[in-house]
Amino acid sequence: MEILSPFTASKDQIQKLALYEKKGVKEYWIIHPIDKLLTVRLLGEDGKYGLPAIYEGKGSLEVMTLPGLTVDLDAVFRE
């Protein structure tokens, strides 16, 4: 899970994404605190990240690669 800042946004969304894909990180969450959005990327069987799923920072969301683990997005985005 990465939390974006204006200073690292391109690094997190381009360089780290490519590195994590290369290293086989199965699930990559990017928190957009200003927009209160969550972007989730899942590694496909081809070893590539597919299209991102984008969620509003409300409610809860289960971690796909760790069934049973749920993240409270209301708490994550609470100011």
- Rounded to two decimals, what is the model's pTM? 0.89
Superfamily of domain 2-76: tt1808, chain A (3.90.1570.10)
Q: For the residues 39-63, what does the mean pLDDT come to?
A: 96
- Domain spans, the chain: 2-76
Tokens representing 43 are 């590694």
- C-alpha to C-alpha distance for 46 and 5, rounded to whole angstroms: 30
Query: Do the Cβ atoms of 25 and 16 come closer than 8 Å?
Result: no
From CA 4, how far away is CA 73, in angstroms rounded? 15
At 21-37, the pLDDT tens digits run 999 999 999 999 999 99
25 alpha carbon, distance to own chain's centre: 11
